[in-house]
Amino acid sequence: MTYKLGLTGGIASGKSTVAELFEQAGYPVIDADVIARQIVEPNSLALKKIAMRFGRELIQADGTLNRKALGAKVFGHPQALADLNAIEHPYIRVALTKALDEAVASGADIVVGDIPLMYETQWEDYFDGVAVVNITPKLQLERLVARDGLTVDEAHARIDSQMPLPEKVAKADFVIDNSLGQQMREVQVKQLIKHLTGK
């Protein structure tokens, strides 16, 4: 029986690093961010709808979406972000469900769905349990500024566009504290795998 584990956290909380540990342990990970990029490939219906709503200048010469320009239009602008989500999420949901169902059909003991907006988009019901990657607010801000080359204000706008991390932690079935360094992160993931598989 496959255990369907949802994995989420705040932006720059280290969720992708945790997802990699599950992959290294041999469990399939379906990444919603990868699927979100696939659904806006050149000439896709979702990309055309985004261009109609936010401007054709977001489509680059090679037909791809200028993600940075789109980010500037939606982060810190709640209605614009809601409009973008309304366009993208139906396409993401169909593709993500298909990818997760295929992974479950493979018979793996654990299938991980790496979904940043797990609670914001009501994905938790698909899973048997949800693990939230937690981090201190100070570390989250520092990591986001360093990773994406943002100003502190830009980083706050992105953090504020998501459900607050403490709220996600309160809803979680499992919490992985990513403030404790690499070794403790690995220990926590191994303990969770053992708990879920009994192995």
Statement: residue 110 has pLDDT above 90: yes
Q: Which two tokens stand for residue 184?
A: 């403790």
Banded model confidence at residue 76, pLDDT cuts 50, 70, 90: confident
Task: For residue 3, report the phi and psi dihedrals to the nearest 5 degrees.
Answer: -95, 120
Identify the pLDDT of residue 170: 97
Identify the pLDDT of residue 121: 87
Average pLDDT over residues 36-54: 96
Answer yes or no: is 17 a known binding residue.
yes
Answer yes or no: is 64 a known binding residue.
no
For 35-62, give one letter per residue: b (16+ CB within 10 A) or e: bbeebbeeeeebbebbbeebeeebbeee
The span from the CA of 192 to the CA of 171, in Å, is 17
Query: Domains in the chain, ordered, with CATH?
Result: 1-28+108-198 (3.40.50.300), 33-107 (no CATH)
Identify the pLDDT of residue 131: 98
Answer yes or no: is 10 a known binding residue.
no
Q: Which two tokens stand for residue 71?
A: 């980010």
Statement: residue 95 has pLDDT above 90: yes
Identify the pLDDT of residue 75: 86
Answer yes or no: is 15 a known binding residue.
yes
Answer yes or no: is 136 a known binding residue.
no
Identify the pLDDT of residue 163: 93
List C-alpha distances in Å: 145 to 15, 87, 99, 163, 172: 16, 28, 32, 19, 26
Q: Is 78 exposed, middle or buried (0-12, 13-18, 19+ CB in 10 A)?
A: exposed
Answer yes or no: is 9 a known binding residue.
no
pLDDT tens for each residue of 146-194? 999 999 999 998 899 889 999 999 999 999 999 999 999 999 999 999 9
